Amino acid sequence: MIKVLHLFTTLDSGGVESFLFNYYSHIDRKKIQFDFIVPGEEQGFLEDKIKELGGRVYHVPLLREKPLQQFLSLVRIIKKGDYDVVHCHGYKSAIGLILSKIIGCKIRIIHSHMAYVTENNFQKVLRKLITILVKILATHWFACGEDSAKWLYGETAYKNGKVEIVFNAIDLKKYQFSSDVRKKCRRELDVSNKFVLGNIARLSNQKNQSYLFSILKEIILIKPNVMLLLVGNGEDEQRLKQEVLELNLTSYVLFLGRRTDVSDLLSAMDVFLLPSKYEGLPVSLVEAQASGLQILSSDTVTQEVNVTQNISYLPITEESVLLWKDKVLSLTSEESNRFTINDSMTDGPYDICYQASKLLNRYQEMCVIKEI
């Protein structure tokens, strides 16, 4: 059995964590074992589910609080586990590459999940320096998409075929649109007669939910039977709730928090909106497409995710609010069109059944080469 150790920042319900859970749920676990290292003691939303699948989750001290203790914990876990592969997610997990190299792990993967990040000059220089280090230490370079690959490794490395793309795939069947589920969910949310807009994302400055409120104010003037569903939690939750109160939008916005019925909520929506300031390759857009939704996204998001051609890209400037409003009002939610879109994604880059098998094969190829 191949043993893989994954290192990242938190075992919560964000994009990287969902990515890993989706792959571990569908990969052949008789042939491969996934374990996880998570900084901090807080238990994430997906930790119990990971353990149910047979994965082990190790918590280590936070680097900023106890750097030496984290270092010693990582050394102990990597040595004791005798892992075939150490798979580090994001350039900030470079410490895992350093230690696994010293300990003697022959397969070391760095995996880029981000494409655009707002950085000051110091952060940009620091990232470039760390990137040089991880490119030296890692034996394999992964990315969630073309833009993400170019952002971390450079355009030349991508064009020369040095970067392998591992798509943010999902369980397509889970997100198949259902009329019955739509009616039930809308009834439970008391939005049966509403034009429902939706956003599924961490409540944060990056995800830019405040921009949605500006759009919503304009839509209400023309289509007052509208409702915005915000699914997720995050550091900006209280600020956003206060903003909704001050803008007199409390009757038009539902904060639903972190949910386990995302597929049902997508069926309930009419239009999906993602005005993020930057992204890697957002899983939420893959899920929304699998549900057959019409989608509006900021033009900072990579267009390689638009596999169904159901995504329209718009700028997120102050002057563009009216463009978003007009585009939303031009869209209709035809249920008949939503049933067939999911099938068109089968056996494609975002079909987890297909992609999990490919990833297992890749790990196996690496391990065979390692033994030679």
pTM metric for this prediction: 0.86
Q: Which two tokens stand for residue 268?
A: 């309930």
Q: Which fold has domain 172-344?
A: Rossmann fold (3.40.50)
Buried b (16+ CB within 10 A) or exposed e, 303-327: ebbbbbebbbebebeeebbebbbeb
Q: Tell me: the pLDDT tens digits for 310-357?
A: 999 999 999 999 999 999 999 876 776 788 899 899 888 999 999 999
Output DSSP code: residue 318. G
Is the separation of the CB atoms in 112 and 91 below 8 Å? Answer: yes
Q: How far apart are CA 164 and CA 166, in angstroms?
A: 6
Q: Which fold has domain 2-169+351-371?
A: Rossmann fold (3.40.50)
Q: How far apart are CA 369 and CA 157, in angstroms?
A: 22
Q: How far apart are CA 342 and CA 172, in angstroms?
A: 7
Query: Is pLDDT of 269 > 80?
Result: yes
Query: Is pLDDT of 225 > 90?
Result: yes
| 298: three-class secondary structure by DSSP | strand
- pLDDT grade for 83, boundaries at 50, 70 and 90: very high
Give the domain ranges of the chain: 2-169+351-371, 172-344
The answer to whether the 2-169+351-371 and 172-344 domains have the same CATH topology is: yes
Which segments of the chain does DSSP mark as H helices, in order? 15-26, 47-52, 67-81, 94-103, 121-137, 146-153, 155-159, 179-188, 209-220, 237-246, 262-268, 283-290, 321-330, 335-344, 352-371
